[in-house]
Structure 1
Amino acid sequence: MSIDEFSKIITHLNLDIELRPTAKIDIVSIEFIESYLRIKKDDKYLSKQNDKFDYSKSTEGVLLRLRKLKPQPKTIFKYYSNDEKGLNLDALKNKYLYHSSFKSFNDPFDCNINLVSFRKNGKFKKTQKKKKDLFKNKLNNVGICCFTTKKDSILMWSHYSNSHKGYCLEFMKKEEELYPVNYIKDFNKTNYYDNIKDSEFHLTYSKSEEWSYENEYRSIVDNIDPTNPNSRKRKYSPHRLKSVYFGVNASDKLKLQIIEILKENYLNFKEIELYENHLKENSFGIESVKIN
């Protein structure tokens, strides 16, 4: 809550509180304001900077907490390259999101099996090895689709949209649909025997803090058939597609292809906003110009 919001509340409640950085607020006033805002003790989420909660492991509880801490975006973005096989254009045409295997990711630490310990009572026996192998094989049935809250990241346009030659789609985000990635400093491990589900979360939602600039959200499905590529294609409603952003190096051919796909396959075509990206003249940045 900002100081201005807090000031409005105490003014509305006619509370006599001195608004100075050094001023102290008595506990009675705090509890009264909390009661007024209907804040439950279990839901007092502080800013992460001051929160003493342990975020070093990406358990389900940590991810739920992160989702409450972060202001939830109304829309999310996904970058696409202008691939030669036209697979990305096929996904746009047929309105599906492809949930990739972790093996295709550019970060070798992403979904790294070593994030989970299979030692029991400090020992690693044959039975533990079997558990590890089964857990590792289960990853083959997992599909991951990655999104971000940023549409103007120079690095992401470079990495995921083949040097700004591709495009970026903006989707309406369903409430409580996705979990944010947890960016951790140290290579902390969960123990498989403590909580299997938490180990699964930790494995698929943990990344090094060096990747934090991506501000990533993930959609994860665990019923993939590794022998059937179509099982990785998950349909979305056309009304969820809000905008298309063309990279600064996107060709006119690609732009026309996408516009034709939208016209022919999206009944809500006129509602979908189209933007061209341009380099800013006096800073290292990208600006988007609406073209429809």
Structure 2
Amino acid sequence: MKLKFSKPKTLNDPLEFNPLIKNLSDPDFYKYSRNNGRIQKSEAQKLYDDVLKPRINKYGVLSLSTNEKSYSMWNFYSNGHRGMLLEFNNDFLEKASFKIVSGKTPMEVDYTNDISIEAKKLKEMKYNDEELVKILFRKKYKVWEAEKEYRVISEIDSDSENDFALLDYDPSMLRSVIFGANMEPSLKKKTMDYLKSYNVKLCQSFILKDLISDNPSDFIEYLDLTEEKNRPILDSIADLPSEVFISNNQFLSEPIFKNSKS
């Protein structure tokens, strides 16, 4: 199995990894110019393109979260519940075969409204890679705070034309897999077959239609398919259409089938 590490340039926030480069001594530092009819980059943009961008794009970002019931993240990051959620063991990075530069535990994102670096220090290469990881890879603007993100940073092939790297990982790192409500039954079956020799809990997500709440997370619930009472769902998972899992609250406590033995 593989994990996707994205290059910084591909992440969805245009402000991310695009810090304010501070230079208070030069009033023209941020200004563009025109030369023989062609637009010339500002000094700030040149510094970013020539010095900063090559350094940060040699790393890949694996994004994790402690907010497993986020309605918006299930929609954004699993293609409208068509994917799955992977829950890792707390010590999963100790078994990692890829090169990690952010430590042996996931790095908690610091949500702030000040992401900046000094032009002089950047130009003189006084930021080492560890500092850049802390400044740029650890920080996001507060507008993303609800995601409760943690990150793993790994070295990847910066010369690759791909916008991401797929790095191998051992399925024993997993604690559970939660199938999206819209996930294709055939993909669930394929995943189950692959993981059957591993001690990984399998769960099915439900989106509840008959719930009244102001909290979007309340609309997502999970059933542990390894529990005996949910065995009929597990046995039929490759045949059940997605509309079964976008349904009513009663299925969390009552059998889906009229006769649970059938």
Give a deviation string over 1:11-51, Cα, whole Å, max 9, x none. Answer: xxxxxxxxxxxxxxxxxxxxxxxxxxxxxxxxxxxxxxxxx
SS of the residue aligned with 2:153? strand
Q: Counterpart in 2 of 1:233?
A: 166
Q: Counterpart in 1 of 2:61?
A: 144
Identity, in percent, stands at 28
Q: 1:242 aligns with which of 175, 189, 194?
A: 175
Q: Taking structure 1 as reference, are residues 138 and 278 closer, same or farther at Cα in structure 2, changes over 3 Å only?
A: same
Q: Counterpart in 1 of 2:25?
A: 122
**CA-atom RMSD in angstroms:** 2.9
Normalized against structure 2, the TM-score is what? 0.63
Gaps of 5+ in 2: 31-41, 94-103, 227-262
* Contact 2:171/2:195 (<8 A) preserved: no
- The answer to whether the aligner puts 1:182 opposite 2:110 as a matched pair is yes
In the TM superposition, residue 209 of structure 1 has moved relative to its aligned partner by 0.9
- The answer to whether the aligner puts 1:262 opposite 2:190 as a matched pair is no
Give, in whole Å, the separation in 2 of the partners of 1:109 and 1:131.
16
- Residue identity matched to 1:102: P
In the TM superposition, residue 104 of structure 1 has moved relative to its aligned partner by 2.2
Give a deviation string over 1:203-229, Cα, whole Å, max 9, x none. Answer: 222211111111001111234333275
Q: Taking structure 1 as reference, are residues 288 and 101 closer, same or farther at Cα in structure 2, changes over 3 Å only?
A: same
In the TM superposition, residue 249 of structure 1 has moved relative to its aligned partner by 1.9
In the TM superposition, residue 96 of structure 1 has moved relative to its aligned partner by 2.4
Give, in whole Å, the separation in 2 of the partners of 1:100 and 1:201.
17
**Greater share of residues in strand:** 2
- The answer to whether the aligner puts 1:287 opposite 2:221 as a matched pair is yes
Q: Taking structure 1 as reference, are residues 129 and 183 closer, same or farther at Cα in structure 2, changes over 3 Å only?
A: closer
* Contact 1:97/1:234 (<8 A) preserved: yes
Q: Counterpart in 1 of 2:17?
A: 111
* Contact 1:246/1:277 (<8 A) preserved: yes
Give, in whole Å, the separation in 2 of the partners of 1:218 and 1:173.
14
Give, in whole Å, the separation in 1 of the partners of 2:68 and 2:192.
19
In the TM superposition, residue 233 of structure 1 has moved relative to its aligned partner by 2.9
Q: Counterpart in 2 of 1:196?
A: 127
Q: Counterpart in 2 of 1:214?
A: 147
Q: Counterpart in 2 of 1:36?
A: none
Q: Taking structure 1 as reference, are residues 223 and 116 closer, same or farther at Cα in structure 2, changes over 3 Å only?
A: farther
Normalized against structure 1, the TM-score is what? 0.57
Q: Counterpart in 2 of 1:96?
A: 2
Q: Counterpart in 1 of 2:83?
A: 166
* Contact 1:143/1:232 (<8 A) preserved: yes
Give, in whole Å, the separation in 1 of the partners of 2:157 and 2:115.
28
Gaps of 5+ in 1: 1-94
SS of the residue aligned with 2:79? coil
Counting only pairs closer than 5 Å after superposition, residues 13-162 of structure 1 correspond to structure 2 as: 95-112=1-18, 114-117=19-22, 119=23, 122-123=25-26, 124=29, 131-132=47-48, 133-162=50-79
**Greater share of residues in helix:** 1
Q: Taking structure 1 as reference, are residues 111 and 127 closer, same or farther at Cα in structure 2, changes over 3 Å only?
A: closer
